[in-house]
Amino acid sequence: MLFTLNAFGNYTDSFIVKVGEHRISVSAPKKKAEVVSIIIENLTLDKIISELKTKEKVLKRFVLKPQGKEVIQVDYSKIKKLYYVPIAPPFEAVELKFGKKYYEIPPKE
């Protein structure tokens, strides 16, 4: 039981992206790692069509169910910048940056 709690409670090498009604918040790892988990949580009651992408290509396109979660492993060794982009409903792209402990992206006005 303790092992399970530690496994789910310790996301030091993970990005945690929480998508709310009017903003997106990100908790980021302190240091860059070669392989990183990205946990995306939909806190809304709407389905969200999303993608993880670099400037050059889309790495993964997926659908977040209402109140759902997606966990994706990304090999960061050849990636310079990575973005989470909610496509529908649309929201601005969020760059996933190492070293920034917590940050929020409000909607454009």
Per-residue model confidence (pLDDT) at position 19: 94
- Residue 2 above 80 pLDDT? no
Predicted TM-score of the model (pTM):
0.82
CA distances, 105 to each of 24, 75, 93, 95, 102 (Å) = 5, 24, 9, 10, 11
2-104 belongs to CATH 2.60.40.420: yes
- Cα Rg of the chain, angstroms: 14
Q: How confident is the model at residue 7 (pLDDT cuts 50, 70, 90)?
A: very low
Summarised one tens digit per residue, pLDDT across range 69-91 is 999 999 988 889 999 999 998 88
> The tokens of 58 are what?
């889309």
Question: Smallest Cα–Cα separation from 46: which of 105, 15, 104, 87?
Answer: 87
